[in-house]
Amino acid sequence: MAATEHVAHVRQVRDDEVRDPELQDVLERAETTKSPPPQWYRTMGHNPEVATAFARYWDLLHRGGTVPHEIKELARLQIAQMVGCEFCARQTSPLAESITEEERVSCALPDWEHPDPKTRAALHYARTLTLDDGRDAEVYAELAEHYTEAEVIELAAFFCLTMGGNRMAKSWGIEPHEGGVIPEAAMSVHAG
């Protein structure tokens, strides 16, 4: 049986279709930042105004703010695995080199806990927002031990943007799902 070619639901714009200089800058920067990669912005490129506004907001929340980038990146990986977006789970920000392979493959497993209490609190928050698991009181008490209210807002905004972005990427079919990226035992928004 012949392999079928992957066809995205929303195609990526070609180089000759990129006429907006700000979008071109975003695409060039995505080559370096990798999270999200150029394929994301090429898909969003059908609407340059939205793509460039998204890039500014993403940079503010993902690479900016006061919460360490590595914490947000590990939570982004956890959310990608829980949403089931292989495209998103395959990426890792080059600014988060301290994330270990064990953390990458374990962050969405139900019984795994990060050894650092500040990181663990953020991962619990990402889990609660993503899965709506009813642990709000417990999670907010844990957050209060490690984060200011401004940082809680930063985390919430980033986690919700990440969830929505993961769902968009998965729905658009930016790249084919090939398996092997998300652990089988990972918590999932699709669990019954």
Instruction: Tell me how many domains the chain contains.
Output: 1
List, for residues 71-100, the tens digit of each pLDDT value: 999 999 999 999 999 999 998 888 888 999
Q: For residue 55, is it within any domain? A: no
Q: For residue 132, is it within any domain? A: yes
pLDDT for the residue numbered 3: 55
Q: For residue 37, is it within any domain? A: no
Q: For residue 40, is it within any domain? A: no
Q: For residue 149, is it within any domain? A: yes
Reduced to 3 states, what is the DSSP secondary structure of residue 76?
A: helix
**Are the CB atoms for 161 and 57 separated by under 8 Å?**
yes
List, for residues 106-150, the tens digit of each pLDDT value: 999 999 999 999 999 999 999 999 999 999 999 999 999 999 999
* CA gap 63, 60 in Å, rounded: 6
* Mean pLDDT estimate for the chain: 94
Backbone phi and psi for residue 45, each to the nearest 5 degrees, phi listed first = -60, -10
Domain extent for 78: 65-172
pTM: 0.93
Question: What CATH number is associated with residue 69?
Answer: 1.20.1290.10
